[in-house]
Structure 1
Amino acid sequence: MRAILHNSDYTVTLASFPLTLVFGPFDPTGSDGLPADAITCAILGSHAVSALTAITIQDTAESESVLPCAPDQIDDQARCVLEDMAVQAIKVGAISSVEAVSAVAQIAADYSQVPLVLHLGPQEISSEEVEDQDETEDVVGATLELLVPQAHVVVIEGRRLNQWITEEVLEAAGQELAPAALQAIGADWVLVTGNQQRPGHLVNILVGPDNLTISWPWTAPPERIRDSGGLVATALAALLATGHGVEDAAKKACAYAEASLNQSFQPGMGQRIACRNPIIN
């Protein structure tokens, strides 16, 4: 809906855009997290509103520390937004504690009519201390138990999904396809990106209700680039917000991500950054 206001000096266009609520960390380099997600949403026709889950102290080479937000802060911020504005889709990224996972899961339950896109990517816990490794496992376990069953679409990289099945983080017994292990615990749709079918041949696999399975080629992103699944997940959520169906949104999100990754740039001494406003031929 658009309204045009006129007077002798200026013209103002007021527009109503679909809204996407993004849960995620603040990455100061702009390579991931809320700043990057806001650009992705804008490019794809949605306005991003956000709930901060953590602040990272980092450059393009490494993350020095992660400052998680308190669960009640995450809850308060998300509910302030949701009670004020009608959100059309929700995307959940990295969450740094079991308590925060629980808070987000309760919000998702209270707004179950809004499609939720869950990215199962790396957690924002940078230390290699044993206790932090244990905490990461606890966060993954809580995410699988509390958020996957509420997800309309789960996005996960093929390598991570296969690793979780090998390490028995996920139970895949009796499942013909690895994504079905996530459907077995409640996900409606599962999008696996960059799954290796054979050496040098990667595909995306979308598995939906009634054993619907679609696959299409995926071009490996350039080396030294951050996890690409968050880019796909945000694009998919923004496209759902604008009214696309899951199949169409998944394919368009992957095409957008490929273009963004192929036009990545290296502004510092570390990893490359995806161009979130790519030129698409």
Structure 2
Amino acid sequence: MSAPGAPRPPRPAPPRVLTVAGSDSGGGAGIQADLKTMLALGVHGMSVLTAVTAQNSLGVHGAWELPAEAVRAQFRAVVDDIGVQAVKTGMLSSAATAATVADLLAGLDPRVPVVVDPVAVSKHGNALLLGEAVEVVRSRLLPRATVATPNLDEVALLTGVRVADEEGMRAAARAMLGHGSRWVLVKGGHLPGARHRAEAADLLSDGREEHWYRAPRYANPHTHGTGCTLASALASYLVLGHDVPAAVGLAKEYVRGAIEAGFPLGAGVGPVDHGWRERGRAH
């Protein structure tokens, strides 16, 4: 026991997760959502900004990509001093940025899990993955992914597979796995007629086993940031020691609560509530 008045020994640092993504000035998605999620789940979040967006509840009003040297410098500053135990990627925008990030990830210990959220279109329909960047993500980033987390629009962009039903999600998973990721989580929230269904279904597969995750669909329209939040939660649970199927289940449960508690903000689509668990405890 320490003597009275003696300084306490510093506690060990929590697990460290790095997000490589764009900034959302409205705070609902992107780097801001990632760091809020990581804090809520008990890991230390660090960031590499790839782009700055002028964004609010109504949409993306402007986007400015950071130069490759700025992306590289941020990554090296974090990795070379602090170290990372898991990585999540989000908005990469251009081929140059995607290639820079792929090169940086290739230099990490292969045991470091990487969650690739191949962000292509914002919640409001704004394109966030441009031109040749699609091929770079497909050929150079996905082979480094422990888990890729595409929605159905992103599956179509990356593979050409268009999904109309749950059986089609299996074909989508096979096509995505063909580009090299170890696991793929195909998010089924955009299935035709999905809004009228009582539940949403996602499929996790590594080509040998598959896991279906089903959750109630909430009428709450305030869902900005769900994809970023899910990928960040997944990276956090992986670094906390869970295997991929368990980490997906825990991440889905966290996002379920965040969607249920999503709140209005501004004149458009509000964000999910990253602090829903703490607010629940407070009451």
Output the TM-score relative to the length of structure 1.
Answer: 0.84
Q: Is 1:114 the equivalent of 2:106? A: no
Q: Which residue of 2 aligns with 1:205?
A: 203
Q: Which residue of 1 aligns with 2:20?
A: 23
- How far, CA to CA, are the matches of 2:5 and 2:49 in structure 1? 42
1:52-63 matches, cutoff 5 A: 52-63=49-60
For 1:117, what is the secondary structure of its paired residue? strand
**3-state SS in 1 of match to 2:131:** helix
Q: Which consecutive unaligned segments of at least 5 residues does structure 1 have?
A: 169-174
**1:266: Cα distance to partner?**
0.9
- The within-5 A match list for 1:229-244 is 229-244=227-242
**How much does 1:158 deviate?**
3.4
Per mean C-alpha deviation after superposition, the further-off stretch among 247-256 and 226-235 is: 226-235
Three-state SS of the structure 2 residue aligned to 1:50 is strand
Q: Extract unaligned runs of 5+ from structure 2.
A: 163-168
Distance apart, 1:122 and its partner CA: 2.6
Distance 1:5 1:140, change over 3 A: farther
Q: Secondary structure at the match of 2:132?
A: helix
Match for residue 266 of structure 1? 264
Answer yes or no: is 1:136 the counterpart of 2:130.
yes
More strand by share: 1
Is 2:146 the counterpart of 1:152? yes
Q: Report how far residue 178 of structure 1 moved.
A: 1.4
Which residue number corresponds to residue 68 of structure 1? 65
Cα deviation for residue 29 of structure 1 reads 1.2
Pick aligned residue for 2:248 from 235, 247, 250: 250
Q: What TM-score comes out, normalization by structure 2 length?
A: 0.84
Q: Shift in Å at residue 137 of structure 1?
A: 3.0
Question: Hey, what's the Cα distance between the residues in 1 that align with 2:230 and 2:272?
Answer: 11
Cα deviation, residue 113, structure 1: 3.1
What is the root-mean-square deviation of aligned Cα atoms in Å? 2.9
Deviation (angstroms), 1:227:
5.0
Q: CA deviation at 1:49?
A: 0.8
The answer to whether structure 1 residue 32 and structure 2 residue 26 are counterparts is no
What letter corresponds to residue 274 of structure 2 in structure 1?
R
User: Which residue of 2 is the match for residue 172 of structure 1?
Assistant: none
**In 2: Cα distance, 1:159 partner to 1:262 partner:** 23
- Using the aligned pairs only, state the percent identity: 24
Q: Quick one: structure 1 residues 86 and 52, their matched pair in 2 at CA, closer, same or farther if it must change by over 3 Å?
A: same
State the 1:216 CA deviation: 2.1
1:92 and 1:118 in contact (8 A); partners too: yes
Return closer, same or farther for 1:67/1:228 CA change in 2, 3 Å cut-off: same
Matching residue within 99, 102, 105 for 2:102:
105
Does the CA-based 8 Å contact 1:123-1:136 persist in structure 2?
Answer: no
Looking at structure 1, the residues matched to 14 and 77 of structure 2 have their Cα atoms a distance apart, in angstroms, of 19
Separation in 2 of the partners of 1:252 and 1:40?
13
Q: 1:11 to 1:267 in 2, by over 3 A?
A: farther
State the distance in 2 between where 1:107 and 1:166 align. Answer: 28
Corresponding position of 1:216: 213
CA contact (8 A) 1:193 1:218 kept: no
Deviation string 1:229-261 (CA, Å, 9 cap, x unpaired) is 221100000111111111110000011011101
User: Is 1:194 equivalent to 2:188 in the alignment?
Assistant: yes
Structure-2 change in CA distance of 1:193 and 1:176 (3 Å): closer
